Amino acid sequence: MSKHKKRIGVLTGGGDCPGLNAVIRAVAKTADNNYAMEVIGFLDGYEGLVLNRFVNLDDKDVSGILTRGGTILGTSNRANPFKYPVLQGKEYVYLDRSAQCVQNFEALGLNAIVAIGGDGTMAASAALMERGLPIVGVPKTVDNDLEGTDVTFGFDTALQTATEAIDKLHTTAQSHHRVMIVEVMGRYAGWLALGSGLAGGGDIILMPEFPYDVDAICEQIRLRNSLGKNFSIIVVGEGARQKGGEMVVKRRVETSPDAIRLGGISYQLSEQIENRFSIETRVTILGHLLRGGSPSAYDRILATRLGVQAVRLVERGEFGKMVAVKGNTISWVPLTEVAGKIRKVTADHSWVTAAESIGLCLGIPTSIPLSDYPTDETRVDISK
């Protein structure tokens, strides 16, 4: 390694999504072509920094990866350096390995780290900044729920996948005169449900932000039947819940910073509908299908722009920032302002008002304006 060359590390943390490889490619190519920087890639997110596992990344290593889903570096949603799970006997203990991260960073002669991830990764990055590591964040998640940016890469591809699935379910719903419930990812935010419901022609859209009223849903189905529309498509986010009820937790992964794994609200809703009147319902849970596949053109371009801007911030020595989308501009926000926070759908968002204008049911009584409906204002803090 040349003494005059800067050397940076890049890692991908949290759940995978389409476009991660496009960012890695952009970081490696921009660093080499514009600033003669050397780049290494840490394997499996912050676990690679803790365990000093990495690979060199030059032009040939990132050639041909733009169109590939997933991440060539691997990822982990359990490798929080401040709460690192270590198996002792039959139980896990949680250790603070942040000092090891600093030691490995210095031993490798790095000048900065580009951390690509969601809210958990940004929270860990902000905390490591306090330990003295110079970090620039890049936002990703199919859930589109990261604070500080208008959109995250990976969301557009997941939105297209969900929309295509809803399109295909329309024909069987019509043929069998059924209610089809499509459950999508999104965790505590309803962006995927709202977007795919709008784009796929859903009749009822249920989001975590607005706890649903089963009677309002059934009334919408009855209304459609009275108009000769003897089928309905319900798009539900995995974090949706009945008014007065709880989110459906499929399981818990205690070694993960966010232990809750949501899933199954669609089966609960199916039973509730069938108990109220005689109509068959069927459930389709898209799950991890939404994380896979080649990134859309939009996500490839967005990921490339974000990766380029991240390296520019590194070159200027502007650390502790996350590159972000504001309108059509690539900007940045302080990591401390986004760490562990979630951006939720609001009643006045243009997608919501568009859904209301075309008569879609959002799971609340028609007599109550959505702006007056008691919403879920809980700010879920997963940084601990």
Q: Is the pLDDT of residue 366 over 90?
A: no
pLDDT digits (tens, 9 = 90+) for 177-205: 889 999 999 989 999 999 999 999 999 99
Q: How far apart are CA 205 and CA 356, in angstroms?
A: 11
pLDDT digits (tens, 9 = 90+) for 109-138: 999 999 999 988 999 999 999 999 999 999
Residue 378 lies in a domain: no
Mean pLDDT, rounded, for 66-70: 96
Residues 139 and 213 in one domain: no
Residue 381 lies in a domain: no
Say what the pLDDT of residue 88 is: 87
Domain of residue 205, CATH code: 3.40.50.460
What does the buried/exposed string (b/e) look like for 297-319 if buried means 16 or more CB atoms within 10 Å of the residue's CB?
ebbbebbbbbbbbbbbbbbeeeb
- Conformation bin of residue 45: beta by default, left when phi > 0, alpha when psi is -120 to 50: left
Residues 282 and 304 in one domain: no
Say what the pLDDT of residue 254 is: 62
CB-neighbour burial class of residue 219 (10 A; exposed 0-12, middle 13-18, buried 19+): middle
Domain of residue 63, CATH code: 3.40.50.450
Q: How confident is the model at residue 329 (pLDDT cuts 50, 70, 90)?
A: very high
pLDDT digits (tens, 9 = 90+) for 205-237: 999 999 999 999 999 999 999 999 999 999 999
Residue 1 lies in a domain: no
CB-neighbour burial class of residue 106 (10 A; exposed 0-12, middle 13-18, buried 19+): exposed
Say what the pLDDT of residue 379 is: 38
Say what the pLDDT of residue 374 is: 61
Q: How far apart are CA 27 and CA 140, in angstroms?
A: 15
Residue 137 lies in a domain: yes
Residues 169 and 240 in one domain: yes
Residues 149 and 169 in one domain: no
Average pLDDT score over the chain: 91
Q: How far apart are CA 356 and CA 226, in angstroms?
A: 20
| Residue 143 designated active-site | yes
Residue 105 lies in a domain: yes
- Parallel/antiparallel/unpaired status of strands 232-237 and 204-206: parallel
Backbone angles phi, psi at 139, to 5 degrees: -80, 130
Identify the active-site residue in 143, 203, 258, 376.
Answer: 143
Q: Whose structure tokens read 């390694």?
A: 1
Residues 180 and 275 in one domain: yes
Residue 351 lies in a domain: yes
Residues 229 and 103 in one domain: no
Q: How far apart are CA 158 and CA 142, in angstroms?
A: 6
The crossing angle, in degrees rounded to 10, of helices 155-176 and 191-199 is: 50
Residue 380 lies in a domain: no
Residues 194 and 304 in one domain: no
Residues 328 and 193 in one domain: no
CA nearest 222: which of 182, 176, 270, 279? 279
Residues 136 and 265 in one domain: no
pLDDT higher for 323 or 279? 323
Residues 85 and 99 in one domain: yes
Domain holding 301, by residue range, is: 7-153+295-338
Say what the pLDDT of residue 264 is: 86
Residues 190 and 76 in one domain: no
Query: Considering the entire predicted model, what is its pTM?
Result: 0.91
Q: Provide the residue count of the chain.
A: 384
Q: Which residues contact 55 (CB under 8 A, 6 or more apart)?
A: 40, 41, 43, 61, 73
Residue 384 lies in a domain: no
Q: Which residues contact 97 (CB under 8 A, 6 or more apart)?
A: 50, 81, 82, 84
Our count of domains for the chain comes to 2
Q: How far is CA 18 from CA 121, 226, 264, 336, in A?
A: 17, 42, 24, 26
